[in-house]
A and B are shown apart, each in its own frame.
Chain A
Amino acid sequence: MQIQRVVRDLVTSKRNFWLSAKSLRVVEDAVGNLEVALDPIGTKPGDFVVTIGISAARIAAGNPKITTDLTIGGIIDHWDEERWRT
């Protein structure tokens, strides 16, 4: 699992059926790479989150049929930028 920060919301109108009606977020990692993660909890921009990858991402999404490889698993209570970057 990775520690990432939510950058913004992502809107895609045309989607794969199993991805329909799911919230998506753009997340960045410590070096600034952007990725898209599925958000089952409801995060806001600036939140530090734990993201779950690979096959566990599909289970974390609540249904193994959902086609995702990155799902947000939780919002970190206390985390700061300095600890994240080093």
Chain B
Amino acid sequence: MKICRVEGTLVATARISGLQNRRLLVVKERGSAGKQVAVDPVGCKPGDWVIAVGSSAARDAAGSKDYPSDLTIVGIIDYWDEATAQAGSS
């Protein structure tokens, strides 16, 4: 699972039917520069630190095996201090 920070919501009206009306969020993985898009079945707000699952687990986590997601948020981290997390990892 990846630790990500929510940047904001993503509006995509023209989408494939398989994606249904699920909320998509722009997230930034901790320690990487690139943005990614995750499906949000939990209900996060911008600035939240979340955990997200990838690969085929992302499909299950989004609600069904047929849901086309490769990154799904599975939980909001109650407390995450970026400064102490970096000190602990080094």
Report which A residues bind B (CB closer than 8 A). 1-3, 29-31, 40-41, 50, 52-57, 59-60, 62, 71-78, 84
Contacts and interface: CB of A to CB of B under 8 A. Distances in A.
The main secondary structure of chain B at its interface with chain A is: mixed
B37 interface: yes
B70 A53 contact: yes
24 contacts: A1-B39, A1-B71, A2-B36, A3-B35, A30-B35, A31-B34, A40-B16, A50-B37, A52-B68, A54-B56, A55-B55, A55-B56, A56-B59, A56-B69, A57-B70, A60-B19, A60-B68, A62-B16, A71-B68, A74-B14, A74-B24, A75-B15, A76-B10, A77-B12
A42 B34 CA distance: 26
Contacts of B58: 56
A46 to B, nearest CB: 14
A77 B10 CA distance: 8
B12 to A, nearest CB: 3
A85 to B, nearest CB: 10
Nearest to B8: A83
B16 A75 contact: no
Interface in B22-50: 24, 26, 34-39
Interface residues of B, number: 28
Contacts of B37: 1-3, 50
Given A2-B37, A59-B59, A52 B13 contact: no
Contacts of B26: 3
A57 B68 contact: yes
A59 to B, nearest CB: 4
